[in-house]
Amino acid sequence: MRQYVTALAGAALLALACGGGDQGPRTAEGGGDGQRVYPDLDGMEYDVTLTVADSIGMELGDSNYVFGQPATADFTPEGDIAVLDMQLFEVRIFDGEGEFLRSFGRQGSGPGEFQMASMLDVAPNGEIVICDAMGQKLVHFGPDGEYRDALEGFFPAPPVMIDALDSAVVGIQPAFEQTEDGILSGMALRRWENEVTPVVTYHQDLKPFDPENMMTDMMEDMMVFETAPDGRVFRSSIGSSRFVLVGYEPDGTEFLRVEEGIEPVPKTEEEIQEEIDLMRTRMIQGGAPPEMTEGYQPQPNRPSVASLLMDDQGQLWVQLGTTETPTFFVLDQSGQRRFIAGLDYGGDASNWTFSDMQGGRMLAVDINPEIYPKVYILEVEE
């Protein structure tokens, strides 16, 4: 589930809220056997296609299908679809065919309520966990939407992106450290087990804190990640000139590292302006004063990676950030490339974020639609 455009929205909300084995890791430059892992864009062909099987959402009509601003969608263990609507402060559950089943959640600061819901994830046992950036907590619901508890007291902020396991949560959290030379800041990938103190920090990169460039620096530090059911964690940077994929055992031991240099792909002026507008819109929707949105300057190049997902076979679907058409290169957990998949769709999918996979299906959310928001149900076709 972990998408670049979603990271933009998450970082904006965060800024507001902040106001393995004995052999050692396998390290590969270019895949280790001469094959490049990151695809060459010239002449790239798809081995597998993704097609739109159905969608959820309508412009007018039944209110159960009219979204305000869906942030993310996730499959439940039964194959239902949970959608977090950050504008309407609720979660809606649909069956696998897109039929509405129930909803829960509301705005507020009491039990089972959230003030700024930025992300949702469903654990393997069906528990639903929601990030509440403004409320400084992770809110836990049962599979039927019944409130269970909340993990509160994160400092300086709760994680902005999460993967929920049965007894733990892995997520990206802002990090600060006071030194003799000043304050260092950045983003950290961590694991929590029923308390706000992390039990593992998988990755952390801190640099001098610059309040005037906080938003820009925050996006430079962002990453995407995915967690396997066995607790293994994979992360990738979203840098524009180098592809990096790192795998960790649950305890933080690094077992995989793949690094390759790539040719940067510049963003168009339209893409840069759209990114600025999207960031501004998300922050203002979250209650930030307009002047707080003025300093954000997007990176000039497209990210190397846009999202990181895992299928039922444990394969990693790494979305290229450098292509206009959503494209994935699929790796096994040793870092070897298996095939390339691409979206076969006649419309504009440039603002889709891909959030979960299950049983040959994938979910995507159009977070910046021209007409009205939808959740797309995709099928993998070989």
Tens digits of per-residue pLDDT, 198-213? 999 999 988 786 666 5
pLDDT band of 125, cuts 50, 70, 90: very high
Number of H helices and number of E strands within the chain?
3, 28
pLDDT at 60 over 80: yes
Domain count, the chain: 1
300 CB-contact burial (10 Å; exposed 0-12 / middle 13-18 / buried 19+): exposed
- Asked if residue 69 lies in contact with residue 85, where contact means CB atoms within 8 angstroms, the answer is yes
DSSP string, 177-194: EEETTEEEEEEEEEEESS
Q: What's residue 6's pLDDT?
A: 42
pLDDT on residue 179 = 82
Mean pLDDT along residues 151-165: 91
Residue 303 has pLDDT above 50, yes or no: yes
Strands 128-132 and 48-56 come out as unpaired
Q: How many CA atoms lie within 13 A of 221 on its CB side?
A: 26
User: Closest Cα to residue 104, out of 71, 146, 68, 62?
Assistant: 146
Q: Please list, residue by residue across 342-352, b when 16 or more beta carbons sit within 10 angstroms of its beta carbon and e when fewer do.
A: bbebeeebebb
Exposure class string for 18-28: b at 16+ Cβ within 10 A, else e: bebeeeebbeb
**How crowded is residue 60: how many other Cβ atoms within 10 Å of its Cβ?**
8
Position 239 confidence tier, pLDDT thresholds 50, 70, 90: confident
The whole-number pLDDT of residue 360 equals 95
Mean model confidence pLDDT for the chain? 85
143: its two tokens: 């599979």
pLDDT of 359 higher than 80: yes
Task: Provide the pLDDT confidence category of residue 30 given band limits of 50, 70 and 90.
Answer: very low
Tallying the residues shown for the chain, one arrives at 382
Task: Report whether pLDDT(22) > 80.
Answer: no
Cα separation, 262 vs 266, whole angstroms? 12
- Alpha-carbon distance of 30 to 52, in angstroms, equals 33
Per residue in 247-297, pLDDT (tens digit) is 999 999 999 999 999 888 887 888 778 777 777 776 666 556 666 666 667
Give me the residues paired with residue 175 across strands.
186
The three-class DSSP label of residue 3 is strand
**pLDDT above 60 (res 344):** yes
Residue, of 21 and 189, whose pLDDT is higher: 189
Tens of pLDDT along 101-119? 999 999 999 999 998 888 9
Range of the domain at 187: 2-381
For the segment 153-177, the average pLDDT, to the nearest whole number, is 91
Range of lowest pLDDT (75-84, 154-163, 209-218):
209-218
What average pLDDT does range 310-338 have in this prediction? 95
Banded model confidence at residue 43, pLDDT cuts 50, 70, 90: confident
CATH of the domain at 263: 2.120.10.30
Tokens of 313: 């076979």
The reported pLDDT for the residue numbered 16 is: 47
Label residue 167 exposed, middle or buried (CB < 10 Å: 0-12, 13-18, 19+). Answer: exposed
Both tokens assigned to 189: 């990938």
pLDDT the model gives residue 290: 64
* DSSP characters over 101-114: EEEE-EESSSTTEE
Q: What is the pLDDT of residue 176?
A: 84
- For residues 286 and 335, the model is more confident at 335
Separation of alpha carbons 330 and 337, rounded Å = 6
| pLDDT, tens digit, 9 for 90 and up, residues 71-88 | 999 999 999 999 999 999
316: closest CA among 246, 268, 382? 246
For position 324, what pLDDT does the model report?
Answer: 87
Q: Which pLDDT score is estimated for 11?
A: 45
Q: Please check the confidence at residue 19 and state whether its pLDDT lies above 60.
A: no
pLDDT at 12: 42
- 25 pLDDT tier (thresholds 50, 70, 90): very low
Q: Please report the pLDDT score of residue 292 as a whole number.
A: 61
- Compute how many other C-beta atoms are within 10 angstroms of the C-beta atom of residue 381: 12
Residues 152, 158: Cα–Cα separation, whole Å: 8
pLDDT at 191: 98
d(CA 32, CA 48): 24
pLDDT at 215: 55
pLDDT value at residue 258 = 96
User: Is pLDDT of 342 > 80?
Assistant: yes
The answer to whether residue 36 scores a pLDDT higher than 90 is no
The continuous run of DSSP H or E covering 355 comes out as strand 352-358
Position 181 scores a pLDDT of: 78
pLDDT at 339 over 90: yes
Q: Dihedral (C-alpha) 259, 48, 319, 315: value to the nearest 10 degrees?
A: -60
